[in-house]
Amino acid sequence: MNTKLHAICDSQGRPLNLFVTAGQVSDYVGARALLSSLPSADWLLGDRGYDANWFREALEDRGISACIPRRKQRKKPVKHDKRRYRRRYRIEIMFGRLKDWRRVATRYDRCPKVFLSAIALSALVIYWL
């Protein structure tokens, strides 16, 4: 059983919103689900999986600049700020700290709701208590 965890984090790398999808599902599904809950921000740092024209346009409509590297299949190159993109290490550290919890790393729970609640509980203890 495979899953992907999509997260919206603040500038310090603390998770604000979490969403779980099946492992074989595209990242666009997670982006569409979390789009409505984006807080007001100047920049959004995202992985290559979130590189889509509709997503970039939706961010522009909200006044958010996208710092997402282009996918290799994209024919027209899109520029991104490489210096700013290096700050994404905070998000990767957040995912690593969540996986320090054995229940999250090994995914004991079969039900996605229970798994997401275990992730939310671990994030609450790690970052907000």
Query: How far apart are the C-alpha atoms of 51 and 58, rounded to whole Å?
Result: 12
Q: What structural domains does the chain harbor?
A: 3-128 (3.30.420)
Q: What is the pTM of this model?
A: 0.87
What's the CA angle centered on 47, arms 88 and 118, to 5 degrees? 80
In degrees and rounded to multiples of 5, residue 71 shows phi and psi of: -70, 155
**Is residue 107's pLDDT more than 70?**
yes
pLDDT for 118 beyond 90: yes
Residue 66 has pLDDT above 80, yes or no: yes
